[in-house]
Structure 1
């Protein structure tokens, strides 16, 4: 009989989405038993909605609950590192929203703590989950796609001044970054999920849409380790919200759906080079099992990994790569230089990418 893991969630904003999409659909695998939020009205509303028995405004109290198996961190970015380290030290498994930490130094500290912890850590990158992206990954991993040539990653979203009428958004100290950190990080993770690691980057960032501290427009040119060339563009001033990957391989071109907040969903446009490739792709995908989307798919994969004693489906190393790319783009924009990855401990943006 698979274990039903008890979950405590810190932060009832995006935490509510984790319940709706991630835990409630898998009631045989997870039970949310405790919630924590500094906003007592929101805490009560969400706890009542899902009949969660334990409510607290203290993260320390929730982490200390002995029967909780998984601590799910859904707070604004700034306290993530502290909460991860406290939860791992308490012997818990940890789920954490993006960004995992506020620096490469901190993510390395978290990875070191995880090596000796009883629990495991899974960062959230829910856009990896959906029929479209999983089919593309299967085709690429099979070798059918062939040599990767080029691609584009577009995060065209809209955020107005009202979005930033908030205690933590738009500020370096609390949001830790702008469109690169909070919005485009999802699509950029999907890009490397399919195209592999980045080798070099030249980027520019600007604040053009709102009166905020952090960037809201980005343009970057990426050289992937496999030789492919990719352009990545993001803005929070688009009038039509779109998230799109468009990837050209030797034998196949992929184009994601354009849904801003679920680009992993199918169907994707999969354009084979010829009829022979099309037949092979059809055979490869014919018996592919259904794939859960967004949090539903990621939490199902997490439960499977826990039961099998395997590494989580998304790892701290994955989160580090996303933060390393972000830091490299900031450094490139600041210095006007082409930046080589990986970024080591001696790099100027290793301890912080914030001004």
Structure 2
């Protein structure tokens, strides 16, 4: 029988979705044993709703619990750095929502702590874990797609005043960014997951929809390392919410479904350029086993990696690639210049991507 690992869920906003769409389907291997939140009313309501007996408002108390194997951090972004470092020092494995931290300097600090720790850290990029995205990944990695040409990524969502009634949202100091950081980050991760690293970026950001500090509209032109060209756009002012990833290769065109919050899942349009390519794709995907959608698949693969000592399904290197893109985006928008990637400690925004 598989060992059941015990989880402390910290932060009961998005944390409730982790239970409903991840832990509830993985009860054979993962048990949410403790809930932690500063809001006592929400804590009590969630404990009753999900049948969790242990609750606390103290993160330090969570870290002192000897039976807890994993802490799942679903707190506001500005709290992540200290909480990650404390958990790794306490020997607890960590799952952490995006954005992992607030700068490349902070991320490098986390990565150094991770190398010294006995525990492991997995950032959340749950949109990768859909059968549509992973079928595309398999086709590309098998070489059937051929030469990459262009890609487009659209994150067209809607957020109005009620969304920003939450005190920490819409502010640089607490949310750490706007649509680029909090909403489009998953679709942009899907682009690099499928098409590889970005080599050069020119981007623009603007605040046009809401009276907030951070941006709510962005666009960018990218040159990928593989030579392909990509365009990104995101807004929080779209009447119809969609997420769309479209990748054009020599032999195949891929297009995600348009569900705003689940673009990685089937059905994807996979359009072969010639009948024989279609036949090869059918043969490659024959007997496909579903991976477990979003948190379901990511949490299960995390558990399997912890048990085997194998590679994590999402790594801090993946998070760094994502935050390099964010950093380059903000820098390009401020300076009106192309930005070359990857970025290191010599970059002007290494310590912070917030506006000068």
Q: Where do residues 157-306 of structure 1 align in structure 2 (5 Å cutoff)?
A: 157-306=157-306
Q: Distance in 2 between matches of 1:272 and 1:65?
A: 53
Q: Distance in 1 between matches of 2:292 and 2:69?
A: 23
How far residue 270 of structure 1 moved from its aligned partner, in angstroms, is 0.4
Q: Where do residues 31-110 of structure 1 align in structure 2 (5 Å cutoff)?
A: 31-110=31-110
TM-score between the two structures when normalised by the length of structure 1: 0.99
How many equivalent residue pairs?
355
Q: Superposition RMSD on alpha carbons, in Å?
A: 0.7
Structure 1 stretch 43-52 or stretch 150-159: which is displaced more?
43-52
Q: Distance in 1 between matches of 2:301 and 2:193?
A: 16
How far residue 2 of structure 1 moved from its aligned partner, in angstroms, is 2.0
Q: Where do residues 110-121 of structure 1 align in structure 2 (5 Å cutoff)?
A: 110-121=110-121
Partner residue in 1 for 2:329: 329
DSSP-derived class of the 1:161 partner: coil
Q: Distance in 2 between matches of 1:135 and 1:8?
A: 33
Q: Is the 8 A contact 1:158 1:241 kept in 2?
A: yes
Q: Is the 8 A contact 1:2 1:307 kept in 2?
A: no
Partner residue in 2 for 1:353: 353
Partner residue in 2 for 1:317: 317
Partner residue in 1 for 2:13: 13
Q: Is the 8 A contact 1:254 1:268 kept in 2?
A: yes
Gaps of 5+ in 2: none
Q: Distance in 1 between matches of 2:251 and 2:197?
A: 21
Gaps of 5+ in 1: none
How far residue 195 of structure 1 moved from its aligned partner, in angstroms, is 0.4
DSSP-derived class of the 1:265 partner: coil
Q: Distance in 2 between matches of 1:64 and 1:337?
A: 48
Deviations 1:293-335 (A, max 9, x none): 1101111111111111112100001011111100100000000
DSSP-derived class of the 1:78 partner: helix
How far residue 291 of structure 1 moved from its aligned partner, in angstroms, is 1.6
How far residue 239 of structure 1 moved from its aligned partner, in angstroms, is 0.5
Partner residue in 2 for 1:307: 307
How far residue 350 of structure 1 moved from its aligned partner, in angstroms, is 0.3
Partner residue in 2 for 1:23: 23
TM-score between the two structures when normalised by the length of structure 2: 0.99
DSSP-derived class of the 1:306 partner: helix
Q: Distance in 1 between matches of 2:312 and 2:16?
A: 22
DSSP-derived class of the 1:154 partner: strand
Partner residue in 1 for 2:341: 341
Q: Distance in 1 between matches of 2:280 and 2:249?
A: 15
